[in-house]
């Protein structure tokens, strides 16, 4: 397949994905670069002000990425550093930058779950949709990004339907549940507190109610109405946010999944009298690192949990070749659309040029031959024009076609007006 230069435009911008993830950046570094929802909105707003009109932000517990059109990737990197706690120097040590076709492929790969920290983790699909919708609200999505996300989500759907790469449902929240099941007996019931009821927190609370119902489960959220609705739905206890410290002290296991920018579980909140487990699913981390100094407290985070899934992951790895085939299929589909979009102005220009030649020829022969059936001639020559244009369009779609060269030859031969790339 002929891969076009996807990003040339009047501003000479290219499509970039800049970011960092779990592969080179540990949980502390990822915390430094994480972006709150409010900061994401401010970043998108500033991007528009400085003429970066097409940009999407993906900020999760495992990766932080900005994807969009810029003259240079440093424009996107600067925005990330401005609205997070990270620095350019720190970013350079653990980051990656993809450009043009590599960047587009990266987005498709993410959507299939093949790039997730826990292979096949489909929480990323919802996170991609949320990222896209936020950018849509900020009016920072052009037709290129809209099509790319649409293709990526179709690739994700086919991966889920045709492969078993997500078998075992080894998400971060499920890994937390599995850790508790493996280490705490049903015969010794524990008090479990789930604090923070965003997407991951709600998923974890539901899994607790389903798989750990021999333990006493309490949920808590800053917006108490959310906790009230969920508690009624899954039949667990609800505690008011004002009792956070009291509930933490009374719990044997605390699962933290808030979206706060600073630690919400502090050393003075935990028990000094009994052993406690704190599972921190938050990015940035919400359990103060100082708690680690207490001998009776065991803290585990998302990086630790990911190591608990080896057996399932080995089975999932066998699905990778099939997922790669699906990725190749949707890459080709995207490139075909892009080639067609880039060639459409030239095809329209060719048709217009041929119609002018047609009109001149009919007009000339009408003057020379009074008995010419102009309606019949117009019908026949229009059919010829449509066939010529159709043949040329098919030529541009061919895998072996150098589309840019073909369009240039056509422009030179027919003296066509310039078209925007």
pLDDT in tens, 291-305: 989 999 999 988 888
- Segments making up each domain of the chain, as ranges: 14-162, 172-313, 336-414
State mean pLDDT over 111-125. 87
State mean pLDDT over 356-360. 81
Measured CA to CA, the distance from residue 27 to residue 22 in angstroms comes to 7
Summarize pLDDT for 57-94 with one digit per residue, the tens: 999 988 999 999 999 999 999 999 999 999 999 999 99
Average pLDDT, the chain: 87
**Considering the entire predicted model, what is its pTM?**
0.62
Summarize pLDDT for 245-287 with one digit per residue, the tens: 999 999 999 999 998 888 999 999 999 989 999 999 988 889 9
Confidence check: pLDDT of 95 > 60 = yes
Q: In terms of Cα–Cα distance, which of 246, 237, 282, 238 is closest to 264?
A: 282
State mean pLDDT over 338-361. 76
Confidence check: pLDDT of 5 > 80 = no
As given in the structure block, the two tokens for residue 37 are 């929802």
As given in the structure block, the two tokens for residue 288 are 């103060």
- The pLDDT confidence band at residue 9, using thresholds 50, 70 and 90, is very low
State mean pLDDT over 347-368. 78
- The reported pLDDT for the residue numbered 1 is 44
Summarize pLDDT for 171-192 with one digit per residue, the tens: 778 888 888 988 888 888 999 9
Confidence check: pLDDT of 419 > 80 = no
Confidence check: pLDDT of 288 > 60 = yes
- The reported pLDDT for the residue numbered 397 is 63
Coil, helix or strand at residue 25:
coil
> Do the first three CATH levels of 14-162 and 172-313 match, i.e. the same topology?
no
Longest dimension (CA), the chain: 109
Confidence check: pLDDT of 170 > 90 = no
For domain 14-162, give its CATH number from 3.40.50.620, 3.40.50.300, 3.30.300.20, 3.30.460.30.
Answer: 3.30.460.30
- The pLDDT confidence band at residue 2, using thresholds 50, 70 and 90, is very low
Is residue 204 within 8 A of residue 184, CB to CB? The reply is: no
State mean pLDDT over 300-329. 85
State mean pLDDT over 94-105. 96
* Residue spans of alpha helices (H) in 50-142: 73-83, 88-94, 100-112, 123-137
- The architecture in CATH of the region 172-313 reads 3-Layer(aba) Sandwich (3.40)
Q: Which residues are catalytic?
A: 61
Confidence check: pLDDT of 226 > 80 = yes
- The reported pLDDT for the residue numbered 357 is 81
Measured CA to CA, the distance from residue 204 to residue 257 in angstroms comes to 9
**Does residue 208 have a cis bond before it (omega within 30 degrees)?**
no
- The reported pLDDT for the residue numbered 411 is 67
């Amino acid at each position: 397949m002929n891969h076009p230069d996807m990003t040339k435009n009047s501003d000479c911008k290219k499509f970039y994905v800049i970011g960092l993830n779990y592969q080179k950046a540990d949980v502390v570094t990822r915390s430094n670069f994480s972006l709150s929802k409010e900061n994401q909105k401010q970043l998108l707003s500033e991007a528009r002000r400085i003429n970066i009109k097409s940009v999407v932000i993906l900020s999760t517990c495992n990766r932080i990425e900005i994807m969009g059109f810029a003259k240079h990737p440093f424009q996107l990197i600067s925005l990330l550093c401005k609205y997070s706690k990270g620095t350019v120097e720190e970013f350079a040590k653990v980051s990656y930058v993809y450009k043009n076709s590599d960047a587009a492929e990266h987005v498709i790969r993410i959507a299939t779950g093949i790039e997730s920290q826990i292979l096949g983790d489909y929480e990323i699909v919802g996170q991609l949709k949320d990222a896209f919708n936020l950018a849509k609200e900020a009016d920072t999505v052009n037709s290129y990004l809209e099509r790319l996300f649409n293709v990526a989500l179709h690739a994700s759907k086919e991966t889920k339907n045709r492969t078993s790469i997500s078998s075992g449902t080894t998400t971060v929240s499920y890994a937390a549940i599995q850790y508790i099941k493996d280490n705490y007996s049903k015969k010794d019931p524990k008090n479990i507190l789930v604090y923070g009821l965003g997407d991951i927190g709600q998923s974890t609370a539901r899994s607790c109610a389903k798989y750990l119902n021999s333990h006493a489960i309490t949920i808590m959220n800053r917006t108490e109405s959310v906790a009230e609705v969920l508690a009624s739905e899954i039949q667990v206890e609800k505690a008011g946010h004002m009792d956070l410290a009291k509930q933490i002290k009374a719990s044997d296991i605390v699962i933290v999944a808030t979206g706060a920018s600073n630690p919400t579980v502090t050393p003075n909140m935990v028990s000094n009298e009994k052993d406690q487990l704190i599972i921190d699913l938050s990015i940035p981390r919400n359990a103060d690192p100082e708690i680690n100094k207490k001998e009776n407290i065991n803290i585990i985070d998302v990086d630790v949990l990911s190591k608990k899934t080896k057996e399932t992951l080995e089975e999932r790895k066998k699905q990778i070749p099939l997922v790669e085939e699906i990725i190749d299929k949707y890459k080709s589909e995207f490139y075909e659309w892009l080639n067609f979009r880039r060639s459409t102005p030239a095809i329209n220009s060719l048709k217009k040029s041929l119609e002018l030649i047609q009109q001149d020829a009919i007009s000339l022969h009408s003057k020379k031959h009074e008995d010419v059936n102009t309606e019949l001639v117009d019908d026949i020559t229009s059919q010829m024009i449509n066939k010529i244009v159709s043949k040329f369009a098919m030529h541009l779609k061919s895998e072996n076609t150098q589309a840019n060269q073909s369009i240039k030859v056509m422009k030179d031969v027919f003296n066509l007006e310039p078209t925007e790339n």
